[in-house]
Each structure stands twice: as C-alpha cells, then as structure tokens.
C-alpha cells in the first residue's frame, strides 16, 4: 500500500489541486488557461494509469473519469461533471481502502464552497463497539461507513469536511436513493479540540468536560457511534431520508431532519446505558451543533450553522439553557425533556402526506426560532437569541486546518 499512497500523494493530488485553482478563479476559462488545463489533465491521466497498475481496484472509477472528461468543454468548468463517476463509485468494505476522484462540493470545507475537482484515499474501520448497536438499532441498509482519511486534495484535507455523500457529486442527477454515506471521522478530534471546545468554554459554565478525557482512539470510536446512530435515525420515522431524498433536500425540511436525528441520538444516549461513550457523545452533539457550526465563516448561508442557531434558540426559549452573568448553563434534564417534545413535533409534520404542507409547516416551525430569507440562495437574516454570542468566536484562521495523517501511522 505504501507505493499506492506515494503515487497518490506525489503524482495525483498536486495536479488535482492545480486544476482546482483554475476552478476557484472562474467557471469561464480563457484560451491560454485551457491549454494549460489540458496539459494538467494529460499528465494526470498518465499518472492515474500508473495507479491502476498498482491498484487495479481503482480502474472502474478512473475509466468513469475518462468518460466524464469526454464531455468537458475546456472553456467552461460548469461542463466538468462527474455523472459516470457518481454511478460507479463504491464505498470501501470494512478494513479496506478506497480511492475517489471527481467533481464534488465538500461540506464545511474551506471557502469558497463550490463544485471542485477533488480526490481522496480513505480506509474504512468500523469500531467493534458498534456491534453493540447493531442488535438494538438495526440499520435497514447500514450505508453509514466510518473511515479514516489518509490523503485528500485541498477541499477534502483542509477545513472541516468530514462527510462524503453521493448527492454531493456534481452531475449526479435524479438521485432517488442514497447508496452510501462515507465519513472521515479521524478528522473530528482535531476539529472538536481546536474549535468546538474553545468556543464552548467562552460560552458555557462547565468545568468538567468528559469528552476531553478520551484517548485519540476512543475519540474515533465515540464519533463512529454518534455517526451510526445519527444515520440510523435518518432511516426511521414516517419519511425516511433514504426514500424521500428530494423532499429532505428542501432547506427547511432538511434542517429539521438533521436536528431530529441528532436529538434522537442524544435521547438514546441519555436513556440507554448500553451505548458506549454515551455521555461523551451527548457533549459532542450539543457542543458541535451549538458552538461550532454557528461560528463558520459563512454562518449566515451555511445549512449546518442554521441547525446550531435553531437548537440553541429552541433550548433557551424553553429554559433548558439559561444565562448566568456573562455565560450560560445547560440543564441536561430540561434539554432531554424539550428535545423529546421537539422530535415529536417534527415527526408529526412528517406524518402529513402533502409535501407542500410539510415544507410549509417546517418553515413555520423554524421561523419561531430564527429568520431565513425566501430567496433561492437561503440566508439567515436573524439569529435571535444567539446574536450576542457571535463576537465570541475564535480567530477565523483557526477554522482552516491542514490534515496530514501520513505523519500518524494509525491515521487517528
């Protein structure tokens, strides 16, 4: 595997990053740049052919990229789509590597966030602890893949992107079913310790943070448990995400979907003593949602930031979060009581058969706790009770992180 890692790291990622730089400048390509881009692709394809020799499992994906390139107009990056790649990429089986290359939008990556050429190598490792969950929370499809990012191009390796979904692939049109959900959970520890916790300490009165006592390996395992439970709940209820993707891609319906799954995860961790790392996971979910996402650089247009604003405002309005001098206290029992009520509200909306009614009721519920513009490109216009906290965020430079997992042999 060392030779495969070497060729991806030295001969493929640098070229992918060069091509991405042209995309960042503009979708339109001038004549001079188009010739340079063609040369980059020619070199890249030669190196990908060499990779196939060392790593035959990548041949189908690389052939798919070649087919996608046949319809690429070298004067317009908007024509650079990955329809064939989307059809032919498969996530790794457990304890196996997987290579991806194509055009994707990386969630919560570094700005700008658009459809860019990216690649990555990942290693799937499902913790043995997760087997405890399989009997009590049997996933109907088990498409959630916990993995460790080994190598990635700029948009994957930098910033806080820990997810890779088929709907993020540019050109993957008419997606009716989500076939996989791949997560880079070894990135989480650094994000949580360097961003989430410093933010949380500025906001809440809590001296003893249990999750900070976890080892690097335990961090990975605990994050995988959260990931599994969250994805499990996506597949439950009146409108499972996997069977209602188009509906759940609506901004308001999708926001409540994310909130619901995280709230259900918290409730189960509070209730079920068999869940490993359950207390730490409650901290992960609450702190990450409320004290990291709302401080993203693009927080007023960022979907995940919206979930954090919504949860915080909902809990403070229901006295589960209270202000004490300059900081805030969290009452876990009140949090559980109120998020149970919230989950029931969301599920009652999902029980409706009319999708336009579901969208309207979702928007109405959210508007009680924050304001969002009606424009095509959603923008949060009023964060309400969260507004006094916005100045507490860390220096924005700390929000872009370079991950070099080759330095750590365990990839944690």
Question: How many folded domains does the chain comprise?
Answer: 2
Burial of 411 (0-12, 13-18, 19+ CB in 10 A): middle
pLDDT at position 410 over 70: no
On whether residue 376 sits in a domain, the answer given is yes
| DSSP character string of 80-105 | ---HHHHHH--PPPTT-EEEEEEEE-
Please state the rounded mean pLDDT for residues 211-235: 94
What's the confidence (pLDDT) of residue 411? 45
Write out pLDDT tens, residues 335-388: 999 999 999 999 999 999 999 999 999 999 999 999 999 777 889 999 999 999
Phi and psi torsions of 317, nearest 5°:
-70, -25
Q: pLDDT per residue over 196-207, tens digit each?
A: 998 999 999 877
Taking 60 as the threshold, does the pLDDT of residue 234 lie above it?
A: yes
Whether 168 and 210 map to the same domain: the answer is no
How many CA atoms within 13 Å lie on the side-chain side of 214? 26
**Are residues 257 and 384 both part of a single domain?**
yes
Do 211 and 155 reside in the same domain of the chain? no
> Which of the four pLDDT bands, split at 50, 70 and 90, describes residue 394?
low
One domain, residues 207 and 307: yes
CA distance linking residue 274 with residue 47, whole number of Å: 48
Residue 412 lies in a domain: no
Contact criterion met (CB below 8 Å) for 82 and 16: no
Q: Residue 182 forms beta bridges with which residues?
A: 145, 164
CA distance 140 to 142: 6
Q: How many Cβ atoms from other residues are within 10 Å of residue 246's Cβ?
A: 11
**Rounded to 5 degrees, what are φ and ψ at 328?**
-125, 150
Please tell me whether residues 146 and 66 are part of one structural domain: yes
Q: For residue 166, give its domain range.
A: 2-186+401-407
* Distance between CA atoms of residues 46 and 62, nearest Å: 11
Residues 156, 204 within the same domain: no
Highest mean pLDDT among 48-52, 90-94, 300-304: 48-52
pLDDT value at residue 409:
44
Burial class, 26, CB count within 10 angstroms (exposed 0-12 / middle 13-18 / buried 19+): exposed
Please provide residue 249's backbone torsions phi and psi, each rounded to the nearest 5 degrees: -80, -10
Nearest to 7 by CA among 57, 46, 60, 65: 46
Both 180 and 274 in a single domain?
no
Q: Average pLDDT for residues 236-249, to the nearest whole number?
A: 91
Instruction: Please give the model's pTM, rounded to 2 decimal places.
Output: 0.90
Whether residue 379 is found in the same domain as residue 265: yes
């Amino acid at each position: 595997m060392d030779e495969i890692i070497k060729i991806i790291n030295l001969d493929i990622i640098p070229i992918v990053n060069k091509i991405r730089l042209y995309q960042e400048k503009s979708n339109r390509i001038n004549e001079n740049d188009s010739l340079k881009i063609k040369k980059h692709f020619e070199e890249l394809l030669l190196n990908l052919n060499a990779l196939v020799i060392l790593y035959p499992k990548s041949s189908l994906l690389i052939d798919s990229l070649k087919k996608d390139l046949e319809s690429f107009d070298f004067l317009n990056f908007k024509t650079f789509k990955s329809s064939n790649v989307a059809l032919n990429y498969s996530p790794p089986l457990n304890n196996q590597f997987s290579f991806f290359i194509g055009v994707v939008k990386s969630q919560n990556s570094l700005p700008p966030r658009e459809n860019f050429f990216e690649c990555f190598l990942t290693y799937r490792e499902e913790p043995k602890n997760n087997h405890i969950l399989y009997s009590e929370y049997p996933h109907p499809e088990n498409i959630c893949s916990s993995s460790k990012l080994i190598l990635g191009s700029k948009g994957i390796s930098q910033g806080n992107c820990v997810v890779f979904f088929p709907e993020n692939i540019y050109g993957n049109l008419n997606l009716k079913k989500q076939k996989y959900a791949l997560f880079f959970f070894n990135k989480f520890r650094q994000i949580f310790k360097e961003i989430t916790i410093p933010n949380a300490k500025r906001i809440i009165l809590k001296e003893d943070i249990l999750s900070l006592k976890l080892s690097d390996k335990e961090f990975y395992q605990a994050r995988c448990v959260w990931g599994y439970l969250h994805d499990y709940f996506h597949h439950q209820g009146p409108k499972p995400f996997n069977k209602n993707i188009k509906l759940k891609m609506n901004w308001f319906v999708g926001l409540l979907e994310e909130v619901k799954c995280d709230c259900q995860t918290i409730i189960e961790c509070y209730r079920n003593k068999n869940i490993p790392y359950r207390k730490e996971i409650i901290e992960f979910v609450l702190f990450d949602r409320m004290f990291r996402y709302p401080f993203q650089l693009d927080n007023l247009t960022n979907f995940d930031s919206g979930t954090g604003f919504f949860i915080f405002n909902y809990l403070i309005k229901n006295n589960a979060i209270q202000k004490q001098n300059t900081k805030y206290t969290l009452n876990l029992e009140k949090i559980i009581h109120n998020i149970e009520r919230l989950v029931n509200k969301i599920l009652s909306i999902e029980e409706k058969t009319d999708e336009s009614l579901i969208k309207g009721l979702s928007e109405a519920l959210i508007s009680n706790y924050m304001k969002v513009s009606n424009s095509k490109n959603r923008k949060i216009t009023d964060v309400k009770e969260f507004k006094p906290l916005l100045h507490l965020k860390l220096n924005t430079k700390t929000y872009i992180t370079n991950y070099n997992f080759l330095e750590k042999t365990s990839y944690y």
